[in-house]
Structure 1
Amino acid sequence: MKYVSARVQGRVQGVGFRYFTQHAAMNHDIVGWVKNEDDGAVAFEAYGEDNNVDRFLEEIKKGPSRFAKVNEMDVNKLSGDPEYTSFNVKY
């Protein structure tokens, strides 16, 4: 299992990025959360099978549409076994 946190920077707020991330997570059997940051970035934690997390991260790098643009994505591995049961959008 793989557990990561990430910050995505670019044009990622106001373009449906959190809901795109949630949808991608559900498609890849990932649990965790996503939220907008005050500095314009989007942050998330994701937990799932190694290959699923890798595919999820590749999809997130592409972004949801022509209106979004991912300039940078910093991913950090986390340890532990989180108690997430779904993938939620935090407000």
Structure 2
Amino acid sequence: MEDVSDAEPDPSERTRTTLRPVRRAPNFAQFLITGTVVGVLLGLWVGSRDGSGGYSDTTAMGFFAVIFGGLGALLAGAIAVLIDKRSLR
């Protein structure tokens, strides 16, 4: 009986190697979280400065943190979409 493992494979049965393009898409969640954190930190810094206009420092910091956090998330999302569009090329 012939050992099957030593036999040469039939050329028609060989696997064919094909190159496929790899799409490198950004992770949207990480972009949004990073944009929100940076925006909140920037908002806290802006709110902690003098001249709150009649609001307490904590209230001003909270308002600015929410506003800047939302703007940071929007900006980071827009950047992620642009990077995603570019990765399709």
- Structure label with greater radius of gyration: 2
Q: Which has the higher helix share?
A: 2
Question: Taking structure 1 as the reference length, what is the TM-score of the superposition?
Answer: 0.29
TM-score normalized with structure 2 length: 0.29
- By relative contact order (CA 8 Å, sep 6+), the higher-ranking structure is 1
